[in-house]
Amino acid sequence: MKHVNNDKKNKEDNKKDNLKKEISEQKPNDNDGKKLDKKDNLINKFLNKKTDFKVYELILFAVLIMMVSVFLTVVVMNDIVSKNNTNSYSPSKMDSELAEFEEVYDLINDSYYKDVNKKTLIEGAINGMLDSLDDPHTSYFNKAETENFNELMNGSYEGIGAEISLDQDGNVIVFSVFKNSPAAEAGLKFNDKILVVNGTSTNGMNTTEVVSLIKDEDRDTADIKIERDGQTLDVEVEKRIVEIESVESKIYEVDGKKIGYVLINTFANNTYEQFRENIENLEKQNIYGLVIDVRGNSGGYLHSVTSMLDMFLPKGAISYQIADKKTTYKYTSTTSESRNYPVAVLVNKSSASASEILAIALKESYGADVVGTFTYGKGTVQTTKNLTTSGGMIKYTIQKWLSPKGNWINDVGVEPTVIQEQSESYEMNPTEENDAQLQKALEVVSNK
């Protein structure tokens, strides 16, 4: 079970643009000390020996002393270098820089006229520090937000397979139900009002508290009382590993041609595998061309979109470029696999990050059309760092990405080859027939 808080929707949407980076730390070798002890014992044996030394023994002893001396020098120097690398700042300097923060923190805790939550103060301070960077893609996640983020980006989690939200009256409702999930099998539907979970009323609770009730680790099922159309129903929902389906596909017939259609909701860890499976199923049905829909897709993992591009671009073709403070790196397709049928990528102003990488890479290196409106315009790359103390996480910008031709779309967006606004009728009552952007993309591909 996941939750959606409409009051924080914009902030949470930004937090979906996440890319991960593994960090490994090498531990010092504990055997160094043991080796030193053995050499010290050997020296002591020489010094405590009562017999007279022979000439060759004195020479051997002198050589040994020199070796030990060199060894000790190396050990001490390595220790100094290690300490210097570990502590790149002066503790006294850091203490002075944090003194004012500590002073304010103590003042609020001791003298503010109402009780305050220390954890809330710390989270507020972290958010304030990151906000000062004026980067909408650098943000702090508390523990609950981190868990939700990881569930979304991992593509699977243990639960019932539904999202919950608060309606305008503060009631907890079912926001969406995943396909082939326990929630779907139990019959939960959009807008069902959740009244009771495992015997506990949800009245006055927020979505995080309700999710905790549903995820109770001591239970294999969740007993949920819902209200639907004025009737009260009791539903028992099994809890199991739920795979989030981020890719859907179908075939449209246009002028006697089969046009494949693939919708990508996010770029999670398992999205590439789902994408490949859907593409191969479409190709078995002899499609003439393909429409890839990333409208409303705010991005995800870079490795996921990279693998998708490898399926289409010829080996050696540039997929994208990554630039840090010093260097720009070009990333190219690494497989001998490629495709040559017509492709159009459907985009809108909510297509961001990895969606934009996919669109402009296929546009510049494959010759695909981009249909819709200008995209969001997010040309930066983020990484994440887990905060072990609180269980939270920060996501922060480390690089910017460029198109295969070196274009930076930040704050500009990807320019469509075919600009198509959405129809007013679709906004009021969305259907495939009045989806002007989809119909235009199908037309573009079929005419290639």
Of the listed 274, 365, 382, 439, which one is catalytic?
Answer: 382
Helix and strand counts by DSSP (H, E) for the chain? 13, 20
> Quick one: pLDDT at residue 77?
36
> Quick one: pLDDT at residue 330?
97
Residues 215, 159 contacting (CB under 8 angstroms) = yes
Task: Using alpha carbons, select from 113, 57, 17 the residue that is nearest to residue 355.
Answer: 17
| Residue 306 zone, left/alpha/beta (φ > 0; ψ -120 to 50; rest) | alpha
Torsion from C-alpha of 434, 440, 445, 447, nearest 10 degrees: 110
CA angle, residues 126, 411, 346, in degrees to nearest 5: 110
Task: Please state the pTM of the whole predicted model.
Answer: 0.70
Cβ-based burial of 82 (10 A; exposed 0-12, middle 13-18, buried ≥19): exposed
> Quick one: pLDDT at residue 208?
83
- In what order do the strands lie in the sheet containing 343-347? 247-254, 257-264, 289-293, 343-347, 369-372, 418-419
CA angle, residues 331, 152, 282, in degrees to nearest 5: 65
Copy the structure tokens of residue 256.
């006697």
CATH number, domain 156-243? 2.30.42.10
Q: What are the average pLDDT values for consecutive 10-residue runs of the chain, which has 448 residues?
A: 47 40 30 35 36 44 45 37 42 72 92 93 92 92 86 85 88 89 94 96 91 90 95 95 92 97 96 98 98 95 97 98 95 96 97 97 98 97 90 94 97 98 92 97 98
Identify whether 378 is a catalytic site residue. yes
Identify whether 382 is a catalytic site residue. yes
Radius of gyration of the chain from its Cα atoms, rounded to whole angstroms: 30
Cβ-based burial of 369 (10 A; exposed 0-12, middle 13-18, buried ≥19): buried
DSSP 180-229: TSHHHHHT--TT-EEEEETTEE-TT--HHHHHHHHT-TT-SEEEEEEEET
**Three-class DSSP category at 33:** helix
Bridge partners, 350 (sequence order): none
CA-to-CA separations, 180 to 83, 243, 430, in angstroms, rounded: 54, 9, 24
Identify whether 353 is a catalytic site residue. yes
> Quick one: pLDDT at residue 288?
98
Q: Residue 384: which H helix or E strand, with range? A: strand 380-386
Task: Using alpha carbons, select from 401, 366, 398 the residue that is nearest to residue 382.
Answer: 398
Residues 313, 366 contacting (CB under 8 angstroms) = yes
Which of 100-103's residues contact partners 24+ apart within 8 Å by CB, and which partners? 101/125
Residues 173, 164 contacting (CB under 8 angstroms) = yes
Of the listed 353, 355, 399, 420, which one is catalytic?
Answer: 353
* Structural domain boundaries in the chain: 31-77, 156-243, 247-446
* HSE, side-chain direction, 13 A CA sphere, residue 341: 17
The answer to whether domain 156-243 and domain 247-446 are alike in fold is no
Q: Identify each DSSP E strand in 203-317 by its residue range.
A: 221-228, 231-238, 240-243, 247-254, 257-264, 289-293
**Three-class DSSP category at 236:** strand
Check whether domain 247-446 has CATH 3.90.226.10, yes or no: yes
Rounded to 5 degrees, φ, ψ at 216 are -45, 115
- What is the C-alpha to C-alpha distance for residues 295 and 293, in angstroms, rounded to an integer? 6
Instruction: Find how far residue 171's CA is from the centre of its chain.
Output: 30
- What is the C-alpha to C-alpha distance for residues 97 and 102, in angstroms, rounded to an integer? 10
Copy the structure tokens of residue 186.
């139990």
Of the listed 378, 395, 403, 446, which one is catalytic?
Answer: 378
Bridge partners, 32 (sequence order): none
Q: Which residues of 234-244 are buried (b: 16+ CB within 10 A; e: fewer)?
A: ebebebeebbb
